[in-house]
Structure 1
């Protein structure tokens, strides 16, 4: 079973991309909007016992806005925007003994300035990622 954890701050424009995806897919896949405190969801995630946990967040990867990449664990701290309480690398390390596979997927933001709603390019990327999740083709995302 795949579980999605969206991470980000919806008050900082494109940093809310992970939250948008988690909310949009919750009707068809187990998903949590972790917001700025994804560590608060570790117990429910462990109880759900997913075979695959997909964590989605805005990530500064030095790519064009709207780029989507699977980010390997050793590069997470280099790409994370850091608007959450606990670094995502720590969250993944904490959950990894109980979850067979964890993928961190980053979406390059166009802006993380204060504002509500995604920029058009990130909205389009988030919708593409939603399609991949719905089709079960998440591993097709290019790796960073």
Structure 2
């Protein structure tokens, strides 16, 4: 299931070369089983990010700067409490990630804080097109999209798809295809975009991820966070 993990790690490294600012957009319906993996990944990344920032005495000032900066760009988005971590609620860190968080040993310096401040985590839910205006205003250099994707592979398998080939991937439940979403975003700017899909197993009405998909999602969370604190 995860025998391609080293290749995925290398592909993400290559993608993030010369990254100045990053948006990770999680997509999916979190009441439809494995389709909720995108929101789950965003929520867990947000908790890990806050954990690192809370280790810094500059945390409160940085969050206020980010909030004010977004409000100054456009008052339309004032209802977001934190421009860095736009999610659906205060989901606790999953038990499977506790040990990873406790073992994180990073030098919380100005460079890392600046990098985290330029990493925006957005839960796009099943209507990611609603966030295109915000994405354009945040104006990242790189965008990573994560979603459950029907690729006719083993449940839980992770696959990276180039934005030019994304039209060949069957996306789960959201209303606008990602191919059209990407085309719309790039009407004004040629964003660097990477899509990461995970093969779902269960798409029925449920708040739980299947075991295989959750295992893969947790591994991807750790991998992405490792990249966030290093790029």
> Structure 1-normalised TM-score?
0.87
Q: Aligned pair 1:121/2:212, yes or no?
A: yes
SS at match of 2:150: coil
Tell me, in whole angstroms, the C-alpha distance in 1 between the residues paired with 2:213 and 2:190. Answer: 29
The answer for the alignment partner of 1:53 in structure 2 is 143
Tell me if the contact between 1:49 and 1:98 (Cα under 8 Å) persists in the aligned partners.
no
**SS of alignment partner, residue 111 of structure 1:** coil
Q: Is the 8 A contact 2:150 2:172 kept in 1?
A: no
Q: How many pairs does the alignment contain?
A: 137
The structure with more radius of gyration: 2
Structure 2 gaps of 5+ residues are 1-20, 50-118
For the residues of structure 2 that align with 1:100 and 1:87, how far apart are their CA atoms? Answer: 17
- SS in structure 2 of the partner of residue 31 of structure 1: strand
Q: Does 1:70 align with 2:160?
A: yes
Q: Which runs of 5+ in 1 are unaligned?
A: 138-144
Which deviations, in whole Å up to 9, do the C-alpha atoms of 1:69-97 show, x marking residues without a partner?
Answer: 11133543432334111111100111134
Displacement of 1:100 in angstroms is 2.9
Q: CA RMSD in A?
A: 1.6
What are the superposed Cα offsets for residues 16-53 of structure 1, whole Å, 9 maximum, x if unpaired? Answer: 10111111112424111111100010111111111111
Runs of 4+ in 1 over 3 A off after TM superposition: none
TM-score for the superposition, normalised by structure 2: 0.56
User: Do the aligned residues in 2 keep the contact of 1:51 with 1:99 (CA within 8 Å)?
Assistant: no
Q: Which one has the bigger helix percentage?
A: 2
